[in-house]
Structure 1
Amino acid sequence: MADEEATTEGGQEDLSALLSSASLMLFVGSLGSVSRLFERVVMGRLLDSPGAFGEVQIAFSIMTVSATIATLGFKEGIPRFMTRFESASDTRGAWVTGTSLSVALTVLVTIALLLNVERLAARFFEPSTPPELLLVFIATLPFFVGLEIVVAGIRGRENTIYRTYSRDLIYNVLRLALIVVLLLAGYGVVAAGFAYFVSALVAFAVAVWLFNRLFPIRGAFETRTREMLVFSFPLVLSSMVSILLAQIDTLMIANFLPSRQAGIYNAAWPLARAVGVIVSSFGFLFLPLMSRLDAGGQYEEINRMYKLTSKWVFVVTFPALLCLVVFADDLLLVFGPAYTSGAAALAILALGSFTSAAFGRCQDALSAFGYTRYIFAVNAIAGVLNVALNAVLITGYGAAPDLGITGAALATASSTVTLNGSALAVLWQKSGVNPFSRWTVRTFVLLPAVLFPPSLVLARQVTLSLPALIAFVPIAGIASVALLALTGSLQSEDEIPVELVEENLGVQVPLIRRYIPDEE
């Protein structure tokens, strides 16, 4: 009996830690998302045209794909192994192994890019694009990869705040400030490259310093090369596919269409990613927590935590989806009138991303359980599907219509749904873990059915300004929680997120508490 109570209390503590981390990561993730969005708005308005904006996004896509190859899946492998070891030498060895292999591969990838600069420029860029643009992004690659690997070590120590300082605040805020200053100074598209270079360098240095405070880098270590490669290699392939889902559209649009279309698409894409930011805010501690619970054989606790977090990811994410789909035209008008033609693409991308909220953190759970080969398989299927659909739908092939950037959005949304659905199916079959309970199903059905119709009516009647669009999201969030309360869709475990909100805001919300049932 005492053991059961201890297990329950431990589960409550883990869930509270996860939700506390999620609230912080949601806040800083929102800051990062807002800064990236503002960054793109600034570039969209201060650069000469959507074409110039598109050139910057193409260079960024090349760097991002290269970074995915260079990290070799250790962004996930490092935290997974660090949480499983108790001795400092084994824990340090996990980080040293991942870092050493990533550094070696980063050098090779950087050299390969430098040797092929002219070919890449001829394939993806307009003849008028300054050659320095791609070169500066290539120079940024080592520091960008270094930042990701050090943050993976911080994640492995289950620390949220140091990641916040280095990745979310310094890297994002400094980059945004530099872009504004350099563009106003007249440096053109190359300004973005310099901003990424300087911010990545500074953030990397700060992250190393913080990580060393958290866990001394110097010291005895036991390398885990074979063990980590077996785990991480499928992840680099699956991560590559994940990045392709995000970036292949830009590169294929750049290959088939003018850079202007890539610019319009990349105004829509970061807005749609707002959904992903909210979902990923629950993932920073999700993987190490799931890995630790799996090592302890606490499978019932894993399933309970998965269902509850999936429900609240859906609730927190839904207002953003509602705004992105219903007011897509109004949102893109922020970039300028030239960008509103991407409204259909924005709505489609947002709907595709939202499946991550409905299905839960299934890939993180599979990774925690060690099923990395299945992660690779589902990502490979989605990646092949994405490339094929992009090739067919962007320019039209056979009987398929020529849909341009809307076709690229359809390709990515279809691939994302396939990816998340396949990952959930594997997770459910292998472990029994799934997001569905009577509470989650009721939530998944009620919110869209009740809130979409009046929002669509409102969108037909008015055009919302940016402040009104921002205000719409929390209003929709309050309406969502109220709807769940009034329809009896709250459960006893919902007391945990309510307590978290009360602690952070310093207020009591008895109106919601009265609708939370007592634990059975």
Structure 2
Amino acid sequence: MKQNFTNLVSIAFVGGLVGRGLRYGFNIVIARGLGPDALGVVAFGLVVMKAISVVTRMGLDQAAQKYIPIYLSEEEPALVSGTTLLCIGLPTLVGAAISGSIYLQRRTISNVLGTDLGVTTQLFLVGVPLFSTMMVAATATRGFKETKYYVYTREIGQSIVAFVLAVVGAYVLSDVQAVIFGYLISLGFGAVLAISFLSYQGAFSFDVRPSVPLREVLGFALPLTIAAVTLYLVTWTDILMLGLFRTPTEVGWYQAAYQTSVLLSVVLQATFSIFPTLASDLYHTDQHERLGQIYTVVTKWVVALTLFGFLFLLVFLESILGIFGTTIRAAETALSILAVGQLAAALVGPAGLLLTMSEYERLQMVNSVLVSLLNIALNYILIQEFGIVGAAIATGVSFIVLNVLRLVQTWYLLGIQPYSRDYWRGLAAVAGAFPIMLLGQTIPLPTVLRVLLTGVISTTVFAALVWYFGFSDEDVLLLESLE
């Protein structure tokens, strides 16, 4: 089945919006139902669970995305089945083993860290193998050149169940542990859903004996674990260190700020579903000029849409954070800083993926290691001095440094940079919608309705201006005709 670039990215974008919205709502439910203290406890537990999961996945999510389409094209169902079983089974077993070991050594770990691994954090250890299985299996569905099954699993299925059970736990049972149990149930549901979709796509051939390409798959996957772990540290060191050095309430306020800033990344992340495949194909077939055009067009619209969201967030910053409950000035400052970091990532587009798919994956690993060390040092120093604002500064600076490195390396090594005069269309549309955002502050409606109404009107104006200014020839050729 042929699908063009626009269709695939649209599915990922809309699904990403839904998933981000549900996970954002999950945090709001906890904050308003149980308070910022409970949100901080849940946030710390989630980060611990996901940090361990990065290791237990062992890069097999990316390996599945690489090797499944290769074996499909070679019509090797035994290798497809073997690869799928390896990529799903190994993270499940390793995740269970590591989680069990951590639980048994919890007192020793608590003494080393100087903080207690509470009951809530211990509960999240159960989620490690479930989360690892779900994420690897969901990513493996992309190996069949489909983006919708990942969306159905992670963004819709698991996120809806987690949100609904969080409402029950927070408002009906009024118990943070009930919320965590509900989240664990959602992970199990997501894992089953992803495996079911893989079966539906024909990942398991029951009429042939699976052939497991162990050396080939692990040889590719394991080095990626280093890059994944260090990149994860860049993203989540702030929460981890806040959990160690500050109160759960402060962690809760920071989680509200961080999760709000992450909404700005949904446009860039939508490109991750299909851009790697295109970049790899064009680079290895020596179509470098076309690769540069795609990179420019994708980055242009990522910048325009993210800038639109960035300005909207700054205008309604206090109102949006207020959805979590009574906000504090430090959380507002932290959100502003984190939003700048997300905008910096948007300004270079999928440069990191471009380097990885152009045989510079080791350079990506070096970038991640260096920036993660910088991030750890900055967080350690600034959190103790400035609290959640210090954590935001450390994370924001790390994002900026990482993306400047990627931009310079992409230009120097590949001779590609994403900027052109054609950016004016998107930027003009943003400029036209911005006054609507400012006027929206004066609408005499309750906060939530005012924010939603202004969002709808300003988005409509933005879309109308984009349509009025029209699309360039590159937009039409590269976003509609690419298959």
- TM (norm. structure 2) is 0.89
- 2:193 alignment partner AA: V
Residues 480 and 338 of structure 1: CA distance in aligned 2, closer, same or farther (over 3 Å): closer
- 1:181 alignment partner AA: V
- More deviation in 79-88 or 172-181? 79-88
- More deviation in 85-94 or 61-70? 85-94
Q: Distance in 2 between matches of 1:411 and 1:463?
A: 37
Give 1:420's match in structure 2, choosing from 403, 422, 437. 403
Aligned to 1:327: 316
Aligned to 2:473: 492
Query: Where do residues 102-251 of structure 1 align in structure 2 (5 Å cutoff)?
Result: 102-119=91-108, 131-218=118-205, 219-251=208-240
- 1:124·1:254 contact (CA, 8 Å) conserved in 2? no
User: 1:37-92 CA distances to partner (integer Å, 9 max, x unpaired)?
Assistant: 11111100111x32222111111110010111111122223212333442234444
Shift of 1:283: 1.1
Q: Distance in 2 between matches of 1:183 and 1:454?
A: 36
- 1:83·1:291 contact (CA, 8 Å) conserved in 2? no
- 1:328·1:344 contact (CA, 8 Å) conserved in 2? no
Give 1:272's match in structure 2, choosing from 261, 267, 283. 261
Shift of 1:415: 0.5
Q: Distance in 2 between matches of 1:308 and 1:202?
A: 37
Aligned to 1:432: 415
Aligned to 1:518: none
- More deviation in 488-497 or 243-252? 488-497
Shift of 1:294: 3.3
Residues 464 and 208 of structure 1: CA distance in aligned 2, closer, same or farther (over 3 Å): same
Query: Where do residues 31-46 of structure 1 align in structure 2 (5 Å cutoff)?
Result: 31-46=18-33
- 2:4·2:480 contact (CA, 8 Å) conserved in 1? no
Aligned to 2:453: 471
Aligned to 2:50: 64
Q: Distance in 2 between matches of 1:67 and 1:415?
A: 22
User: 1:419-476 CA distances to partner (integer Å, 9 max, x unpaired)?
Assistant: 1221232233332333122213x46865777766885687699997222223333444
Shift of 1:298: 2.9
Q: Distance in 1 between matches of 2:55 and 2:479?
A: 41
- 2:138·2:194 contact (CA, 8 Å) conserved in 1? yes
Q: What SS does structure 2 have at the residue aligned with 1:83?
A: helix
Q: Distance in 1 between matches of 2:429 and 2:378?
A: 31
Aligned to 1:296: 285
User: 1:112-135 CA distances to partner (integer Å, 9 max, x unpaired)?
Assistant: 3212333556788987x9x44223
Aligned to 2:244: 255
Q: Distance in 1 between matches of 2:453 and 2:411?
A: 38
- 1:79·1:153 contact (CA, 8 Å) conserved in 2? yes
Shift of 1:326: 2.5
Shift of 1:319: 2.0
- 1:384 alignment partner AA: L
- 2:325 alignment partner AA: G
Q: Distance in 1 between matches of 2:454 and 2:216?
A: 48
- 1:325·1:351 contact (CA, 8 Å) conserved in 2? no
Q: Distance in 2 between matches of 1:94 and 1:341?
A: 48
Aligned to 2:369: 380
Q: Distance in 2 between matches of 1:41 and 1:123?
A: 33
- More deviation in 477-486 or 53-62? 477-486
Q: Distance in 2 between matches of 1:55 and 1:351?
A: 26
- 2:42 alignment partner AA: V
Give 1:22's match in structure 2, choosing from 1, 4, 9. 9
- 2:410 alignment partner AA: L
Q: Distance in 1 between matches of 2:433 and 2:227?
A: 35
Shift of 1:484: 5.8
Q: Distance in 1 between matches of 2:12 and 2:226?
A: 26
Q: Distance in 2 between matches of 1:333 and 1:383?
A: 31
Q: Distance in 2 between matches of 1:433 and 1:95?
A: 35
Q: Distance in 2 between matches of 1:32 and 1:268?
A: 18
Q: Distance in 2 between matches of 1:272 and 1:430?
A: 31
- 1:324·1:346 contact (CA, 8 Å) conserved in 2? no
Q: What SS does structure 2 have at the residue aligned with 1:337?
A: coil
- 1:50·1:339 contact (CA, 8 Å) conserved in 2? no
Residues 83 and 358 of structure 1: CA distance in aligned 2, closer, same or farther (over 3 Å): farther
- 2:24 alignment partner AA: L
Q: Distance in 2 between matches of 1:106 and 1:357?
A: 33
Residues 496 and 37 of structure 1: CA distance in aligned 2, closer, same or farther (over 3 Å): farther
- 1:350 alignment partner AA: A
- 2:319·2:447 contact (CA, 8 Å) conserved in 1? yes
Aligned to 2:88: 99
Residues 340 and 27 of structure 1: CA distance in aligned 2, closer, same or farther (over 3 Å): farther
User: 1:467-513 CA distances to partner (integer Å, 9 max, x unpaired)?
Assistant: 22233334444444566677x6842233469979xxxxxxxxxxxxx
Q: What SS does structure 2 have at the residue aligned with 1:215?
A: coil
- 1:319·1:473 contact (CA, 8 Å) conserved in 2? no
Identity of aligned residues (%): 24
- 2:304·2:430 contact (CA, 8 Å) conserved in 1? no
Q: Distance in 2 between matches of 1:222 and 1:291?
A: 26
Aligned to 1:78: 64
- 1:389 alignment partner AA: L
User: 1:180-206 CA distances to partner (integer Å, 9 max, x unpaired)?
Assistant: 112223251112211121111111111
- 2:82·2:213 contact (CA, 8 Å) conserved in 1? yes
Aligned to 1:306: 295
Residues 410 and 102 of structure 1: CA distance in aligned 2, closer, same or farther (over 3 Å): same
Q: What SS does structure 2 have at the residue aligned with 1:433?
A: coil
- 2:55 alignment partner AA: I
- 1:320·1:473 contact (CA, 8 Å) conserved in 2? no
Q: Distance in 2 between matches of 1:206 and 1:387?
A: 36
- 1:68 alignment partner AA: V
Residues 347 and 462 of structure 1: CA distance in aligned 2, closer, same or farther (over 3 Å): farther
User: Aligned pairs, how many?
Assistant: 476
Q: Distance in 2 between matches of 1:81 and 1:225?
A: 12
Q: Distance in 1 between matches of 2:110 and 2:162?
A: 24
User: 1:301-352 CA distances to partner (integer Å, 9 max, x unpaired)?
Assistant: 2222111111112222222111222321111111111456401111111110
- 1:330·1:464 contact (CA, 8 Å) conserved in 2? no
Residues 41 and 453 of structure 1: CA distance in aligned 2, closer, same or farther (over 3 Å): same
